[in-house]
Amino acid sequence: MPQAQSTQTPMTQQAGTVVRVRLFAALRERAGWGERLIRLDAGTATPVALWRQLALEVSPNSHATDLPPSIRVAINQAFATADTPLRPGDEVAFLPPITGG
């Protein structure tokens, strides 16, 4: 799994909120990365806003930037709603449809 990119701003810097973003399965392969530290844009302190910032469109033909209903969100390894406020250091995961068992 790719490590957090060194090009991202380090967490020690003062301004802004930095979160760890994780992607899995088809979503990870489409994006080309599985884990990154991301500095949130101003006003981007929710998973749904983070999704727009990362431009993780599911369909290459779609210009829609909203989080698709099929993608679930986990914050610090527990399911959460896409409008949950994010705090510095949170681990945010975008989960494609689950196929376990």
Partner 1 sequence: MPTRHPERPIVIKLLEAPFEPLELLAAWQRSLGAAGTAAESHFIGRVRGSTASGAPLEALELEHYPGMSEAQLRTIAEACAAHHGAGAVLVAHRVGRIAPGEAIVLVAVQADRRGPAQRCLQELLEDLKHHAPFWKREWSGGSGTWVAGNTPL
Binding site residues, partner 1, CB under 8 A: 22, 24-26, 74, 77-79, 93, 95-101
Q: What one-character DSSP code corresponds to residue 63?
A: -
Residue 72 beta carbon to partner 1: minimum distance, rounded to whole angstroms? 9
- For 74-83, b/e burial (b = at least 16 CB within 10 A) is bbeeeebebe
Return the number of the residue (26 or 64) whose C-beta is nearest partner 1: 26
Residue 24 beta carbon to partner 1: minimum distance, rounded to whole angstroms? 6
Return the number of the residue (44 or 73) whose C-beta is nearest partner 1: 73
Which residue bears the tokens 């779609």? 62
Residue 79 beta carbon to partner 1: minimum distance, rounded to whole angstroms? 8
How far apart, in whole angstroms, are the C-alpha atoms of residue 19 and residue 39? 7
